Structure 1
Amino acid sequence: MARLAVDIGGTFTDAVYLEDETGESRSAKLPTTSENPVEGIQQALDVLGVRPDEITSFIHGNTLVVNVIVERKGARTALVTTAGFRDVLEIARGSRTNIYDFTFKKPEPFVPRDLRFEVRERIDHNGNVLSALALTDADKLVDYFRFEGVESVAIQFMHSYAEPQHEILFANYLASRLPDIAITTSSELTREWGEYERANTAVLNAYVQPKALFFLEGLETALATRGFQCPVVAVQSNGGHTTTTLAKKHPITLIESGPAAGIGYVKRISEAICESNVIFFDVGGTTAKCAVLENRETPVTTEYRLERSETYPGYPIKIPVVDVVEIGTGGGSIAKIDPYGILNVGPESAGAAPGPACFGKGGTQPTTTDAMLHLGILNPENFAGGQIALDIEKARQSLKRVARELDISLDDVASGIVQIANSNMINALRLVSVRRGHDPRDFVMIATGGAGPMHASVLGSELGVRKIIVPPDPGFASAWGMFTTSPRRDFVRTHLQRLDNTRTEDLDRVFKELQGEAEKHFEEEFQISRDKIVFRRSLDMRYLGQEHVVSVPITLPLGDIKSLENAFNAVHERNYTFTIDDAPSELVNFKLIAEVSATQPELRIRKAGRRSSQTAYKGDRIVNFGMEGIHNTRIFDRHLMPVDLDIAGPAIIEESSATTIVLPHQRLRVDEFLNLHIS
């Protein structure tokens, strides 16, 4: 029997077939069919020659959710709020990324003001009803929604995190009169406070839900037609997976499913090679993603902001998401000259269609891939395992347009594009490492994605990591990582109270309520009993008067309150290097992670067979390494490289899913698991 994992990226769809008993695998990489991603999945199944009766599970992740938001192609969405809070999306937060930026603009709300409505009701922060819900307010909205062609509705009432009954009643009432409209309540997505953040989370879920529903139902239909009877699950942004039923209701939880799975794969690799501190670095066709894993802990946050940058606050999404920094720079990123005559790379991408100019599918704008091809880094006959023949002349024609405008050579344009892309990526890497207090010298960088290994040697050297590691099949890292996931759900409850007014029984009561919700969820969605669930608990705490919190892991039984206070002080000092003596502390959020403890089938890391450096060596070619100069460079076939092979740069390592660069001053070694170590 076997399992199947599919990662639908912005440029390519990757599929991996893994046989459970033997550990043997097959993979396929095909251009993503962005208009209907299900078509690309079916093409991948045909290439792999999958028999439905042998598949025990089908797991997938996709960029559909994030792409719909980024490209602003979602549903016509309305927002219903408590009376007096119609403009919560517009007001947002008063903080700025740069207080001296006089051109600063707040993020444009996804719901225009004429589609934001108020309802009379009020619940306080303790969950007490102050004003009854006026359901009659819904009646006047029904006809208006129909007239305006509203496709989806988000509901966010004040303090519904403490008591969601008004949101539930209103949603049910509206659904009975508008059965064809998707409805989202903020309380079903998060029970954590923050009216702006909860409103934005509900709106974005509503915004993507119709398209996500179309995709997920289309996938189910396509698989059923082919004869698949196995469970179909979707990777979530928290690193676990969920049922298709819940994915349809809460598609926003899939927003970073690809990076979450990729981090799972990197974590497995780090365990095999005994590395505790890792910088995850993944570059695909559209974006670059990076994160820090300290002591192999997957970083998860509810402070995620989509489209955030150093100058732009982005859009908050109050759900558990792997803590990654993502930028719009990848293999398909388009290079353009701005109105000031400055060359920029990204965030616009050529995608899979038309793709980079060298794909020969009608693209004419130069991309990072076109630049890499011209510099001699990419082999035009080996891209995507030879499935796509790259046209170097078309690449050069696209570069000439920029070269003429800047009055420089093709080599300088191509080298400049790569350097600008690297500059964008190094800023993101520093954001997750140096600017968060991590010393890169204590970390290794594990590079994945189809384009990650091409940039990792330069970036790892500049950042100062101990070494760069490129695992086998780096272009399929997210698909491989999906095999490491298990059912998971994160539960949170905001309950603000001073620690010196708290008893341990109060803490036990809240955690028992959360555990009851978790047990009910796993029974209903997965038919999994309580004895197979692992629970992890933590408290978000802060000093009285602070805005931000620190997460304090706890175990049961809790012990006394003083020990909890000591644990908080220790975490605060570790994070910020100080404590505030004699300052009262307070509890903010109770958090419970519930995931299945069932043993996962082993993800075997493949060892070498009969290989040699002679058979791996493919010849030489001239490669322009930019700042490192132009060199006659040895080319190796990674699939034939033996264990313990040790070579000096410069070198290019080619494989079906990626190309790895070894700079002139670096060395490469192949370990027993066929990982490439560059130092």
Structure 2
Amino acid sequence: MIRLATDVGGTFTDLVGYDERTGEVYTAKGLTTTDDQSRGVMDTIETAQTRDGLRPDEVTFLAHGGTTVINAITERTGVKTALVTTRGFRDVLEIGRGNRPDLYNLRTRSPEVFVPRELRFEIDERMDAAGTVLRAPDMDGIAPVVEACRAAGVEAIGVVFLHSYINPAHERQVADALAAAMPDVTVCASHEISRQWREFERSSTVALNAYVQPILRRYFGRLEAALQDRQIACPYYAMQSNGGISTFDQAMDSPLTLVESGPSGGVAGAVRIGDHLGEENVLYLDVGGTTAKCSLITEGRAVLNTTYRLEHTRTWPGYPLQLPVVDIVEIGAGGGSIASLDARGGLRVGPRSAGSDPGPASYGRGGTEPTVTDALLTIGLFDPAAFAGGSFPLDVELARAAIGRLAGPLGVGVEQAALAIIEIAHANMINALKLVTVQRGHDPRDAAFVVSGGAGPALATRLGRDLGVRAIVIPPHPGIFSAWGMLAAEPRVDFRKTWFADLSTDALSRLSDSAEEMRTEALTHFGRGTEAPVSCTFAVEARYAGQEHGVMAPWTPGEDIATFTDAFHTAHERAYTFRLPETGVEITGLHLEARLAGTTITMADMDPAGRGLDDSRTGQRDVWLGDADGWVPCPVHARARLPLNTALPGPMIVEEDTTTTLVLPGQTAEVERAGSLVIREAG
């Protein structure tokens, strides 16, 4: 009765297993195999089997998250894709929106589309905004599309027709005809992925879904075959970007739901940690080998991004996706982020990463450029012999040599240069953390700060101090926490659809009927009857009359108009800092979040036996804390043997197999009953 989760990151592949009968936990970490990620997954399973005694034939549940989808998009390695659309809308993908994120850059250009113009085809058909058929599809127009796609070697086709979100009949008809004519080609229709308005966003979503769908199907096919060869024959689940899980089959139908698969596992875990500690507001940060990702949890729930844009930056519009994605800000600042000098001699960190091959200079695998990991090793925070539980020793001299090549031009010593690298990475992370808090109208001082990742705990205490958070929490298994979080996630599906009406009692009554239809659809999705333990939470998108975009406000079917109106005003004020109580309100959409109750990982009390301050002390190491403090002696403790519920003063270093935590002077660290390391400012 073992529950297993694997997470494929840019540098490392992680595994966590949990035996429901005994409470035994299995862990493994290995380098990601970029040519075929399934090999890295199987390597971690083999490691857990040979080292910890994992029994594959007793695995009854497997959750998997990874970077297959996001990598295919960012590296432009998807399949050749065509798009079929309503006549006159062939260039919607290329026209996009007129707004420019970099307002004063007159040389800005639109993002390159994933479907070239010669593979975008038009069909005569028309539906009006109410779903009334104005012109039936010209089915004779399909034959030349099929001929052109065959000649071009197209592997996937997206179909997106005007107003199909309200009436998908034409899309179904044409998609079925294309699938019948080209059975070896993947065909997906926009209404199967999104039932929301805005033609550019819908077109972008279906094009990208088609672009990666064959890639994910092949990968899951290889992974399933490898798992079955290893005698792991159980239900397979994929970690979705909304914080829930779905079956492999469901994920292959909508692969874009996995676009932020790995990071969402960490958010699901942070929700579980916050619930255990009684913290409704949690600021979560994961610092891996390639990137740092942060998200905010409010009132015990992850915040969903309603306007997700892939590859979006402050100066680049990115690609919009009409799918629910946990609100995550991601920056190129991880343990493998490369430090370099720009044209003016200034120090930069990231976004380039050394990855797993060759990796940081200290890995001794051929890398020569200095990274954040090399800097942390140089200032004494990492033990070179104990890194990754001693299975992956680091070379201090290689790290110092790499950083020394920057220290010379900067006119500082190696330690000062190493600390400068860490400070810049720190500043980048602070900016990202403020994007999900201050710029969203939330105060980080009201939140607990949960930090994970191989490099996260080493930086956590300084970040938490600068943000003024309530507490800094290093959860169990922080270096493989995204995989752990997948065991805390439940099966989930989100449905969103456009629904227009002026706010009124009658409109809310009709909306309740639509909500019941969506609830029935959710039950069908889970394959359960109406008595199944499915929890449904609704939200309504609304706006003031005259506005272009709306905000999401919580809503319960059957509630009175005054209750919802107040909830809408509150949501609008939080998003835009003002409310207009005398202005009319328009409903623009309905959102359902449905969860199937299931077994998740428990947080049982730890056994206090064998834990004590003297038992945990493993030595002492000097850490460079800056010119003012110099090399500071820090006692080193093994986290697994620290006493429970005992506040220990910093400075100190807490080591475990997957990461190292630095507790600063003026802070205290305490292991709470379920094993989380809670750090607070003394006094």
TM interval, short-chain normalised: over 0.9
- For 1:459, the equivalent position in structure 2 comes to 463
Q: How does 1:271-290 map to 2 (within 5 A)?
A: 271-290=275-294
- For 1:191, the equivalent position in structure 2 comes to 195
CA distance in 2, matches of 1:545, 1:620: 65
Q: How does 1:560-639 map to 2 (within 5 A)?
A: 561-598=561-598, 600=600, 602-604=602-604, 606-626=606-626, 629-630=629-630, 631-639=632-640
8 Å contact kept, 2:491–2:597: no
CA distance in 1, matches of 2:579, 2:424: 41
Shift in CA distance, 163/629, structure 1 to aligned 2, threshold 3 Å: farther
- For 2:649, the equivalent position in structure 1 comes to 648
Aligned counterpart for 2:136 among listed residues 124, 132, 140: 132
- For 2:183, the equivalent position in structure 1 comes to 179
8 Å contact kept, 2:190–2:202: yes
Q: How does 1:519-534 map to 2 (within 5 A)?
A: 519-523=523-527, 527=528, 530-534=531-535
Shift in CA distance, 601/615, structure 1 to aligned 2, threshold 3 Å: closer
CA distance in 1, matches of 2:305, 2:139: 36
1:570 CA displacement: 4.0
- For 2:677, the equivalent position in structure 1 comes to 676
Q: Greater CA deviation, 144-153 or 541-550?
A: 144-153
Shift in CA distance, 672/359, structure 1 to aligned 2, threshold 3 Å: same
8 Å contact kept, 1:30–1:40: yes
CA distance in 1, matches of 2:453, 2:378: 21
Shift in CA distance, 248/635, structure 1 to aligned 2, threshold 3 Å: same
1:597 CA displacement: 2.8
CA distance in 1, matches of 2:90, 2:405: 49
CA distance in 1, matches of 2:648, 2:295: 29
Shift in CA distance, 14/470, structure 1 to aligned 2, threshold 3 Å: same
Shift in CA distance, 342/223, structure 1 to aligned 2, threshold 3 Å: same
CA distance in 2, matches of 1:417, 1:574: 36
8 Å contact kept, 2:244–2:268: no
Q: How does 1:88-167 map to 2 (within 5 A)?
A: 88-167=92-171
Residue deviations 1:325-364 (CA, integer Å, cap 9, x gap) = 1112111112233334333222222221221121122222
Amino acid at match of 1:510: S
1:222 CA displacement: 0.9
Q: Greater CA deviation, 469-478 or 640-649?
A: 640-649
- For 1:425, the equivalent position in structure 2 comes to 429
CA distance in 1, matches of 2:515, 2:330: 33
- For 1:29, the equivalent position in structure 2 comes to 29
CA distance in 2, matches of 1:408, 1:87: 54
8 Å contact kept, 2:515–2:557: no
Shift in CA distance, 302/606, structure 1 to aligned 2, threshold 3 Å: farther
8 Å contact kept, 1:628–1:664: no
8 Å contact kept, 1:607–1:674: no
1:647 CA displacement: 3.0
1:351 aligns with 2:352: no
CA distance in 2, matches of 1:501, 1:305: 35
Aligned counterpart for 2:492 among listed residues 479, 484, 488: 488
Amino acid at match of 2:32: T
* SS of equivalent to 1:6: strand
CA distance in 1, matches of 2:100, 2:106: 11
- For 2:17, the equivalent position in structure 1 comes to 17
1:429 CA displacement: 0.4
1:5 CA displacement: 1.0
- For 2:225, the equivalent position in structure 1 comes to 221
CA distance in 2, matches of 1:167, 1:127: 12
8 Å contact kept, 1:540–1:590: yes
1:601 CA displacement: 5.9
- For 1:62, the equivalent position in structure 2 comes to 66
CA distance in 1, matches of 2:605, 2:529: 29
8 Å contact kept, 1:519–1:530: no
CA distance in 2, matches of 1:658, 1:62: 20
CA distance in 2, matches of 1:234, 1:471: 23
CA distance in 1, matches of 2:360, 2:575: 44
**CA RMSD, aligned part only?**
2.1
Shift in CA distance, 112/58, structure 1 to aligned 2, threshold 3 Å: same
CA distance in 2, matches of 1:279, 1:491: 26
Residue deviations 1:386-435 (CA, integer Å, cap 9, x gap) = 11111122222322333345454322332222111111111100111111
1:162 CA displacement: 1.0
Amino acid at match of 2:7: D
Q: How does 1:246-325 map to 2 (within 5 A)?
A: 246-325=250-329
- For 1:659, the equivalent position in structure 2 comes to 660
1:321 CA displacement: 0.9
CA distance in 2, matches of 1:378, 1:491: 46
Amino acid at match of 1:12: F
Number of matched residues? 675
Q: How does 1:206-217 map to 2 (within 5 A)?
A: 206-217=210-221
1:66 CA displacement: 1.3
8 Å contact kept, 1:157–1:167: yes
Shift in CA distance, 369/509, structure 1 to aligned 2, threshold 3 Å: same
CA distance in 2, matches of 1:439, 1:179: 53
Q: Greater CA deviation, 256-265 or 94-103?
A: 94-103
- For 2:46, the equivalent position in structure 1 comes to 46
8 Å contact kept, 2:18–2:601: no
Normalising by structure 2, report the TM-score.
0.94
Residue deviations 1:73-124 (CA, integer Å, cap 9, x gap) = 2222222222222222222222233423334333222223333222222212
CA distance in 1, matches of 2:643, 2:651: 18
1:563 CA displacement: 4.4
Shift in CA distance, 92/414, structure 1 to aligned 2, threshold 3 Å: same
Shift in CA distance, 644/486, structure 1 to aligned 2, threshold 3 Å: closer
- For 2:388, the equivalent position in structure 1 comes to 384
1:550 CA displacement: 2.0
* SS of equivalent to 1:531: coil
CA distance in 2, matches of 1:432, 1:79: 35
CA distance in 1, matches of 2:509, 2:480: 48
1:40 CA displacement: 1.2
CA distance in 1, matches of 2:101, 2:606: 46
8 Å contact kept, 1:500–1:584: no
CA distance in 2, matches of 1:616, 1:62: 35
